[in-house]
Amino acid sequence: MIVMGRHLNSPPKKIALFLIVFAFLLLPTIDAVAKLLGDSISAGQIAWSRFLIQTILMCPIFFWGLRKHKTQKIFLQFMRGVLIACTTVLIFASVKFMPLAEVIAIFFIEPLLVTMLSAIILGERLGWKRLTATTIGFFGALVVVQPNYKLLGLLSFLPFLAALSFAFYMILTRKLSQMESAGVLQFNSGLSGLIFMSVMLATFSSFDIPMLEIKMPQKQEWILLILIGVIATLGHFILAFASKYIEANILAPFQYLEIIGATFLGFWLFGDFPAPAAWVGIMTIVFSGIYVFKKETSITI
């Protein structure tokens, strides 16, 4: 029998926690499908399609929510959309050149950034247990792929920039979720991301920048683009919902679950099988997440 302690003692928080686990295992599928498309569709166009699908899917929920109250903090919501757009393009560009698990592992400096930024910006409590577990998980992620600047060159900075962008996105998600519904947040981030990417593609597609090229997708490519949009919308809707009930720095260590999904998909789709040392890193990530779950939820089995 599982007994929940004072930190997550309400049904919405219990549901949110398990939804988070599902979302973080699902989200690497977006990057895997983007890698499949990477040779034919640019990162910018994939991101544009992802936000178009998200906007369409969330439109009914947005107008339903709009009947109850007006959208708040419009500028912050727009910036949230710009941040997720930048994150998306940077990640999609990264997976075109690097193995999926390697990109995700480098990206996982982000939970550590979220933990620190949530204390600085949001004033959330930063306990040593959370910080320690997040740091251990981060080093576990590094062990998975052992990123090396000499091998990756400047490309190694793309996932880092994505991590920084996504860290601020998560902070804004936490802040805005206290005053806005998950559905409205997702519509606004999708629309903002769509507007931002439309401007970027219209402005720079003729400048011979590979990540911002435009072409007409084939039928199979359209299917994969739609799939990315659907998965991204579902996954980030869950994150927006969960952020209303769970603090950002509690969410952070659970994001390491993504590397498990990325490792599996990398092997299944691209034949990237982690080295023995990588499995040590993966287990470190898993146990750091379990440790935080146990401490922050006061679980007794």
Over range 211-240, report the average pLDDT: 88
> With 90 as the cut, is the pLDDT of residue 60 above it?
no
> With 70 as the cut, is the pLDDT of residue 194 above it?
yes
- At 52, the pLDDT band (50, 70, 90 cuts) reads very high
| CB atoms near residue 119 (< 10 Å) | 17
For the CA atoms of 225, 226, 230, 235, what is the dihedral angle to 10 degrees? Answer: 0
For the full predicted model, state whether its pTM sits above 0.85: no
| CB atoms near residue 6 (< 10 Å) | 7
> With 60 as the cut, is the pLDDT of residue 297 above it?
no
- Kindly state the tokens that stand for 112: 């550590």
- At 9, the pLDDT band (50, 70, 90 cuts) reads low
> With 60 as the cut, is the pLDDT of residue 37 above it?
yes
* Euclidean distance between CA atoms 232 and 226, whole angstroms: 10
Mean pLDDT (the chain) is 78
Which residues is 300 bridged to in the sheet? 3
272-276 long-range contacts (CB < 8 A, ≥24 apart) are 272/99, 272/100, 272/101, 274/101, 274/144, 274/145
* Domains of the chain, residue spans: 15-297
Over range 223-245, report the average pLDDT: 85
- At 299, the pLDDT band (50, 70, 90 cuts) reads very low
Over range 109-118, report the average pLDDT: 75
pLDDT of residue 1: 30
Give percent of the chain above pLDDT 70: 79
> With 90 as the cut, is the pLDDT of residue 225 above it?
yes
Give percent of the chain above pLDDT 90: 21
pLDDT in tens, 64-101: 655 556 667 788 889 999 999 999 999 998 888 888 88
Residue with the bigger pLDDT between 109 and 165: it is 165
Over range 248-262, report the average pLDDT: 74
> With 90 as the cut, is the pLDDT of residue 49 above it?
yes
CB under 8 Å to 26, separation ≥6 — which residues?
A: 231, 234, 235, 261
- Kindly state the tokens that stand for 295: 């401490």
| CB atoms near residue 40 (< 10 Å) | 13
3-state secondary structure of 3: strand
- At 163, the pLDDT band (50, 70, 90 cuts) reads confident
pLDDT of residue 2: 36
Closest CA to 289 of 244, 262, 255: 255
